[in-house]
Amino acid sequence: MEKPVIIGVGYTRIGEHWEKSLRDLAVEAALMALDNAGVNRVDAIYVSNMMSGALQDQEHLGSLIATYLGLKGTPACKVEAACASGGMAIHQAFLAVSSGYYDTVLIVGVEKMTDKLTSEVTFALAMAEDREYVVSTGATFVGLNALLYRLYLTKFNVGQKSIAKFPVIAHENALNAPHAQLKRKISVEDVLSSPIIADPIRLLECAPIGDGAAALVISSPEVAKESPKDTYIEIAGSAAATDIMSLHERLDLLTLFASVKAAQKAYKMAKVKPSDVDVLEVHDAFSILAPIALEDLGFAKKGEGWKMIENMDVSLSGKLPTNTMGGLKARGHPVGATGIYQAVDAILQLKGEAGKNQVDNPTLALLQSTGGVGGTVVVNILKRG
C-alpha cells in the first residue's frame, strides 16, 4: 500500500476573531491549502469540528463549506470526535486515499469559540463526556483532569513544580510562532501562583479558548508527483482507538488505553519505534496530560514522564522537541481544528520552515490527538519524503 502524502497546508492565526464567522475562517484556511497544493478541485472534503451545533446553531458543515469554496458537487461531511476531531479527519482521509477511492481530499478543521460566554463554551465542551451519568453531576473537563493530576502527584510522589514546567516551555515556543494565540513568556512561579481552576490545576496549566481554522490537502503519491512541490510529507502511520468513555469505569486512570493502542498500531504501520521520532505533538489541554502522553506513547516508563519535563528533554533543544509552536496551551486550542494545527506545526518542522523554532533536520513526527479524557485518541505519524 502506497501511503498518502500531504501536498498543501493552510491555517489562520488563532485568537479572538470577532470580525470573522466560522465559515470565513474555514474558507480562508482551505483556500490557502488548495493554493499551496496547486490544485483547485478535490474528490472529497472532511470538515473537523466539535461544537458548531452548540455554539453557532449550525450543522451540515460539509455542504456549507463546499458551497462557499465553490466546490458544488463534491462529497463533503463533518467529522466529530470531540477534541480529537482534527486527528480523526486526518485518519479518515488517510483511509479514503489509501483505499484508492479518492485521489485527493481536503481537510478543514475549524472552531469558533470566543463569541460565547466561558460558561457556554464549558457546557459545550462537556458534551464530550457522558451527559447523563457524568456531566449531570456537575463534573467538568477541568475537574476530571484535576482528578488525574492529584492521583499522579500522589501515586508517583511528584511535585507539581516539575509538571508546571511544561506550560512554561510551551509559552517559550509560542513566542516565535506567527499563528500562536498566547505570545508571552511565563515562569514556573507564574504558573503555580495563578488561580486554581480545579485543585490542583492552575489557570496557566489550561489551554485557552480561541478561534481558528487549519487545512490540509492529502493526495495519492501519483497526484503528488504532478504537484510543483519538491518536498512532500508522507502519512507513514495512522491509527485511532477508543477507551471506556468515563474515568469512573476504568481500571487504570493514569494510562489512556486508547493512546497506547493507537500508538502501537501507528508505529507498526509506519515501521518505526518511539526512538525514531524527532518531533512530537501531544494533546496538552491541561499540563497533566503531557507526562501521561509521554508515557503512553512509549517515550518514558509509567510514572516517569515528568522527568522528561523536569530535565527539559521536551524543549526545542532537548532530546525530544515537543509542541514546538506552543501546543494547545500557547499556540491555542480551537477544538475541531487542533489536530490539524498539530499537523501544520509538524509539517513546518519537517520541511525546515519553522523559523526560529526550527529543530535540527527532523524526518519523523508523531501527533497525538485526544478526545474527552482519552475516550478517543488518534495517532498520526508524518515522514519527510
Print burial letters for 304-326: b (CB count within 10 Å at least 16), e (below 16).
Answer: ebbbbbbeebbbbeeebbbbbbb
Local structure of residue 56 (DSSP, 8 states): H
Alpha-carbon span 216 to 219, nearest angstrom = 10
Tell me how far apart the alpha carbons of residues 308 and 104 are, in angstroms, rounded to a whole number: 39
Amino acid in the structure at residue 320: L
| Catalytic-role residue among 83, 171, 206, 283 | 83
Helix (H/G/I), strand (E/B), else coil: 9: strand
Q: Is 206 a catalytic residue?
A: no
User: Strands, DSSP E only, in the chain?
Assistant: 5-11, 44-48, 76-79, 104-111, 196-198, 201-202, 212-219, 233-242, 279-281, 364-371, 376-384
CB–CB of 76/96 below 8 Å? no
- CA–CA separation, 7 vs 232, rounded Å? 6
Q: Which of 223, 247, 218 lies closest to 233, judged by CA?
A: 218
Provide Rg for the chain, Cα atoms: 19
| Bond before 221 cis per omega within 30 degrees | no
Closest among 123, 329, 151, 122 to 247, alpha carbons compared: 151
216 has which bridge partners? 9, 107
Between the alpha carbon of residue 287 and those of residues 7, 134, 158, 161, 326, the distances in Å are 32, 22, 14, 11, 12
Amino acid at 258: A
Positive or negative, the Cα torsion across 256, 261, 262, 263?
Answer: positive
83 is catalytic: yes
> CB atoms < 10 A from the CB of 359, how many?
18
Question: Which one from 91, 171, 283, 333 is the annotated catalytic residue?
Answer: 333
What phi, psi does 52 have (nearest 5°)? -60, -35
Active-site residue set: 83, 333
